[in-house]
Amino acid sequence: MESPLVDLLRSLLLGRGVAALATLHDGRPFASMVPFAVTTIGGRLQLIAHVSGLAAHTRDMRSNPDVCLMVMAPETDKVPPQALPRVSISGRAVFIPGDHPEHAVLKVAYLGKFPEAADLFQLGDFSIVAIEPVSARFVAGFARAMTLSAKTLDAALHGSPAS
């Protein structure tokens, strides 16, 4: 992937703080909003969310871990809505229990982006969810769309040569 595209993808995933989360709710599509952070553990790219058990999307992910996150550039008067840069990441939601070896690392990554969320970790109904990408659809602008493998997505975020 060309350097300007890599930079744009990085700015979306590392610079934005919220994503639209698509789940299946009683067999029907459902969209919600989640704050997210990006990290890599054991060579696996993960998008981290901290979700309440009271939220419909949490119950949905427990029932069916297949999800999609969409991160979009902010609207501007200079770019038509159809040309807004965005990335949709299809993946699997994995709930990380508090006693899991990766929990502390994921918590640090999340709080590094959202320090104001520290108090939420004291509430018993919140869980860390790691969304492990399977593939992504990256739209860099009008008529500039591409499908990315999880490996290519990870390489772009970590400065490795992408295939």
Residue-wise pLDDT for 140-153, tens only, equals: 998 899 999 999 99
**pLDDT at res. 38:** 95
The helix/strand/coil state of 108 is helix
In this prediction the pTM is 0.90
pLDDT tens per residue across span 49-58: 999 999 999 9
Choose which CATH entry (3.30.420.40, 2.30.110.10, 3.30.565.10, 3.40.630.30) describes domain 3-157: 2.30.110.10
User: What percent of the chain is modeled with pLDDT above 70?
Assistant: 97
User: pLDDT class for 124, splitting at 50, 70, 90?
Assistant: confident
Q: Is 148 exposed, middle or buried (0-12, 13-18, 19+ CB in 10 A)?
A: buried
**pLDDT at res. 125:** 86
Average pLDDT, the chain: 92
**pLDDT at res. 161:** 46
Residue range 12-36: average pLDDT?
Answer: 96
**pLDDT at res. 160:** 55
pLDDT tens per residue across span 110-123: 999 999 999 998 88
How far is 148 from 90, CA to CA, in rounded Å?
Answer: 10
Whether residue 162 has pLDDT greater than 70? no
DSSP single-letter state for residue 71: E
Name, in order, each residue with C-beta under 8 angstroms of 153's C-beta and a sequence gap of 6 or more.
9, 45, 89, 133, 136
Whether residue 94 has pLDDT greater than 90? yes
- 152 phi and psi angles, rounded to 5 deg: -65, -40
